[in-house]
Amino acid sequence: MVTAKLKPANSKLKRFKEIQNPRLKFKEKLSYGFGDLGNGMMFDMGQIYLLLFYTDILGIPSWVGGLVFLVSKFFDAFVDTAVGTIVDNQTNFAKRGKFKPFILYGSIPLAILTVITFLSPDIGETGKIIWAFGSYLLFNAAYSFVNIPYGSLSASMTINADDRTQLSVFRNMGSQGAMFISGIVVIPVVSLFPNHQIGYPIAVGMLAIAGVIFHMICYKGVTERHTIERPKEKGIGRKAFLNLLKNRPFIILAIYTLLTISALFLQQASQLYYFKYVLGEQNLVGIVSTLNFIVLIPALVLTTFLSRLIGKKMTAIIGVGGFILFQFINFTFFSDHIVMFLIINTIAQLFLVIPNTVTWAFIADVVEYGQWQSGIRSEGIIYASYSFTRKISQGLAGFIPGASLTVIGFVPNATQSADTLHGLKVLFFIVPAAACLIAVILFFFAYPLTDRKHKQIVKELALREEL
C-alpha cells in the first residue's frame, strides 16, 4: 500500500471533487474508441470466419476446429497472467505511459499473425491441424500483449463515472464498427478470387493494416492520468492475485461475462452456418452487419440515458433481458423467414449492445474496489484475469459449435438433413439465450457494486490519498 503525508480534509475533498468532475474531451474519447476498432479489425476475423475457414478451406474436421479455439483460449490463461504482471510492474513510465507503449509496439506483430492464421499450407491433414493450433496460439498471445494494456488504459484515463460510461460507449462503438466492416468486406473480397485460399489472407490482411492505423490513432490521442507505480515489495504480485479472489464484484462480473460473452461469440461463430444452410443466404452476414451498425447509435444513446437514469447495473440487466426475449420470439416464429428474422434479430442485437457497452465501465470500477479493499491498485492483473474469462468464453463459443456440428450430423458443403437444420437453429438462438438468462439472474441478485457505492469508494480513496 502506498502511503503519503496527510493533508487537511478540505484539500482532500477538493481533490475528490476534481476527480468526480467529467473532464474527457470528445477527441480523446473518440481516440480511445479507435483502439477497439483496431482490435476488432484483427480479432473479429478469428471469431467470425476462422471456424468456417478451418472446415471449408483448410479442410480439418469441425470438432478439431472447435478444439483449436478451446485449447488456445485456455493457453491464454498463462499468457494473460504474465502480461498483466508485466503491465503492473512497469517502472519509470512517467513520460511514455504505463499502458500505451504496448499498443504501439504490439500492433504490427499482431497484424502479421492475424494474416498467418488464414494461410492454408498444403502439408497434409496432420500438418494442417498442427498449423491451425500453432498459428492461433501465437495470434492469441500477441493479442494479449495489446488488448490487456488497452483495457487497463481506461481506468487510468479517468475515475469519473460519466466519463467511464462514455469511454465504454466509444469502445463499443469501435468494436461494433469493426464487426460491421468485417461483416461487409471479408466475404465479398474473398469472392473476388476464384481460389479462396488466396482470397482469405488478402481480405484479412487489408483489415489488419487498417487495424494498425487505428491503434496508432489511439496511442497518440489518449492521456494516462491515474497511474501508480507499484512499490518494490516481495510477493506483491501474488498478494494481488489472492486479493482478487476476495473481490466479490470481480467474481460475479467474471461469471456474468463468461455466460454473456459466450452467447455473443457463439452466435458469431454459428451465424455463417445458419445463414448458409438454414436460410440459404451465406452473404446475409453483410446485411446483418449493416443492420446491427444502423441501430448502434440509437443503442448507445439509450445506454447513456439509462445509465444516468437508473445506473449501470440495471441498464445491463434491461439489455440482457431484451436480448433473451427477442431471441425466443425469433426462434419460435421467424427462424425460417428471412425478412422477419432480420427485423427481430436487429432488435435483439440493439438490446445486446447495451450490456456489452457498460461492461467495460464495470471492470474499471472493480479496479477501485480492489484498491479500496486491499490497498493495492492492480489494473493489469484485474484486466488480465477478466480478459481470461472473456477468452474462455470465446474458446467455448468456438468449441461448442464445432462439437455441436458433429453431434447434429453436419456435413460441409452438402445439403443438410431436417434434424441438422433444427440443430443449427437451436445453436444460433436457444443456446445463447439460455446462457444469458442464467447470467442476468445471477447478476441481478449477486452483483453488489452500484454507481452510488463506487462513488463512495472513490471518495474514501481520495481521502486516503491513493488516487
Q: What is the pLDDT of residues 78-130, one digit of tens each?
A: 788 788 888 877 766 656 778 899 999 999 999 999 999 999 998 988 999 99
**Residue labelled with grid coordinates 425460417:** 336
In a domain, 4, yes or no: no
Q: Model confidence at 207, in pLDDT bands (50, 70, 90)?
A: very high
Distance CA 150, CA 465 (A): 26
C-beta separation of 71 from 404 below 8 A:
no
The CA angle 317-319-323, to the nearest 5 degrees, is: 115
More confidently predicted of 269 and 149: 149
pTM over cut 0.75: no
In a domain, 5, yes or no: no
**Residue labelled with grid coordinates 445486446:** 352
Q: Where are the alpha helices (DSSP H) in 21-99?
A: 26-45, 51-53, 62-88
Least Cα distance to 324 among 173, 431, 444 occurs for 431
**Strands in 62-175 per DSSP E:** none
| Domain region containing 256 | 11-226+235-463
Least Cα distance to 99 among 383, 464, 461 occurs for 383
Assess whether pLDDT exceeds 50 at residue 289.
Answer: yes
In a domain, 200, yes or no: yes
Domain count within the chain: 1
- pLDDT, average across residues 17-42: 84
pLDDT tens for each residue of 209-255:
999 999 999 999 998 887 766 556 666 667 767 777 888 999 999 89
**Residue labelled with grid coordinates 445506473:** 311
Question: Secondary structure of the chain: what % helix, strand, coil (to 5)?
Answer: 80, 0, 20
In a domain, 394, yes or no: yes
In a domain, 6, yes or no: no
C-beta separation of 252 from 262 below 8 A:
no
The pLDDT of residue 164: 82
Which sign does the torsion angle of CA 389, 391, 397, 399 carry? negative
For residue 21, the 8-state DSSP code is S
In a domain, 3, yes or no: no
The pLDDT of residue 413: 72
In a domain, 2, yes or no: no
Distance CA 80, CA 39 (A): 16
Distance CA 271, CA 427 (A): 9
Q: Model confidence at 454, in pLDDT bands (50, 70, 90)?
A: confident
Residues listed for the chain: 467
Assigned C-alpha cell, 270: 454459428
Least Cα distance to 183 among 40, 22, 34 occurs for 40
C-beta separation of 330 from 129 below 8 A:
no
C-beta separation of 51 from 402 below 8 A:
yes
For 42-74, letters b (16+ CB in 10 Å) and e give: bbbbbbbbbbbbbbebbebbbbbbbbbbbbbbe
CATH code where residue 92 lies: 1.20.1250.20
In a domain, 415, yes or no: yes
Sequence-ordered list of residues with C-beta below 8 angstroms from that of 223, at least 6 positions apart, any chain: 28, 157
Q: How far is CA 142 from CA 42, 76, 378, in A?
A: 11, 10, 21
